[in-house]
Amino acid sequence: MAASPPIAVEPAFASWEALGSTAVLGVTVPGALSQARCEVESDLAAVDRACSRFRSDSELSRLNARAGRPMQASPLLIEALEVALRAAELTGGDVDPTVGRALELAGYDRDWRLLAAPADESEPDAPARPPALRIRVRSGWREVSLDRSTRRIRIPAGVRLDLGATAKAWAADRAADAAATSGCGVLVSLGGDIATSGPPPAGGWRIHVTDDHRSDASAPGQTVSILSGGLATSSTAVRRWSQDGRIMHHIIDPATGRPARSMWRTVSVAAATCTDANIATTAAFMRGEGAPAWLEQLGLPARLVDHDELVTTVGDWPAEPFAGHDQARAA
């Protein structure tokens, strides 16, 4: 999609809590903020009712409870699942929606803000004591059956879906498009996953990439601007909790059913949509040192930070303005 001409008006912003995270809405026409917020809030509420794993009354919870039996689903859940299955297809299963049970076994069975905060900074899979029982969770997105014509979904018995790897970014894309119907430029950020629609402000949308979306622009990171598309950042440094003395995080490696042990700490990617950007950031954790070459092959500009805070940039991602050779490298 070609970028629209920029609008030479300062954008207006609003932020609030949504989908268990922070929603930020920016519009290039300040007078359109209230209406745009109504559109975004309505859309996010619908997505939450369909896709939340933490709401017992959500469609996804009902689907998970009916594992092994078919269920007729709303068009919204059908679309969300199609997005998740497309992510699995395009990443060879690195982003797999069938890791719900693995997330629960890792302790992520409620809003993460209610989970026990980690007491130290040891890595996942570094057990304080030998586990009494090791359970390997089988995942398999290919076993999910989805029939769009009859709107029926069937997941294998014992499998629980989690759409967290794609639904938030997809919701940001949807919300940005919904709010841009009035013709103004729109930015929607959901927990740091950013989608834009319509004409950007002069100079583009300014975005500071860092470990934690709750930080401010003074946090270590880099400030860039985008004219269109989406930008997503995933990090294992934020959504962490403690389980049996081990530090866990929310990015599950489908190959092991456990929190990914990756050389990367934080990955940011720019793409045509926030959904595609988010798929790429999540898959990058599983691809490890092969991630920069994979992103380069896809033509996706990216910034990857390893555990030693060494920054690797990919493709046309702008170079770090103040980084020396010992702090940054290009893929």
Partner 1 sequence: MPGSQDVNSRDAALRKLTRINRWLIAGSVTATGALSALAAGTFSGHAVTAASTTTEAASSTAAEAAKSTASSGSAANLEAASSAPSSAEATESSTGGESSTGGESSTVVSGGS
Region 282-321 residues binding partner 1, contact defined as CB under 8 A: 286, 298-301, 315-319, 321
> Residues binding partner 1: what is the number (CB under 8 A)?
108
100 touches partner 1 (CB under 8 A): no
- Closest CB 38 distance from partner 1, rounded Å: 13
Q: Which residues, 157 to 186, sit near partner 1 by CB under 8 A?
A: 168
Separation between Cα atoms, residue 275 and residue 269, nearest integer Å? 11
**What own/partner pairs with CB < 8 Å and gap ≥ 24 does 57-64 have?**
60/161, 60/163, 63/153, 63/155, 63/161, 64/100, 64/155, 64/160, 64/161
Separation between Cα atoms, residue 287 and residue 275, nearest integer Å? 18
Instruction: Pick the binder of partner 1 from 50, 103, 279, 291 (CB under 8 A).
Output: 279
Instruction: Pick the binder of partner 1 from 82, 104, 296, 306 (CB under 8 A).
Output: 82
Q: What is the DSSP string of 240-290?
A: EEEETTEEEES-EETTTTEE---SEEEEEEEESSHHHHHHHHHHHHHHGGG
- Closest CB 129 distance from partner 1, rounded Å: 27
Instruction: Pick the binder of partner 1 from 144, 179, 248, 260 (CB under 8 A).
Output: 144
Q: Which residues, 191 to 210, sit near partner 1 by CB under 8 A?
A: 191-194, 201, 203-210
Instruction: Pick the binder of partner 1 from 114, 138, 288, 289 (CB under 8 A).
Output: 138
Q: Identify which range of 48-56, 60-68, 121-129, 275-283 contacts partner 1 by CB under 8 A.
A: 275-283
Q: Which residues, 228 to 257, sit near partner 1 by CB under 8 A?
A: 228-239, 254-255, 257
User: How crowded is the C-beta side of 305, counted as CA atoms within 13 Å?
Assistant: 21
Instruction: Pick the binder of partner 1 from 276, 284, 292, 312 (CB under 8 A).
Output: 276
Q: Identify which range of 51-59, 68-76, 144-152, 176-184 contacts partner 1 by CB under 8 A.
A: 144-152
Please choose, from the candidates 228, 212, 181, the residue with its C-alpha nearest in 3D space to the C-alpha of residue 305: 212
Exposure string of 121-158, with b = 16+ CB inside 10 Å and e = fewer, is: eeebeeeeeeeeeeeebebebeebebeeeeeebbbeee
- Closest CB 111 distance from partner 1, rounded Å: 12
14 touches partner 1 (CB under 8 A): yes
Q: How many beta carbons lie within 10 A of that of residue 217, not counting itself? A: 10
52 touches partner 1 (CB under 8 A): no
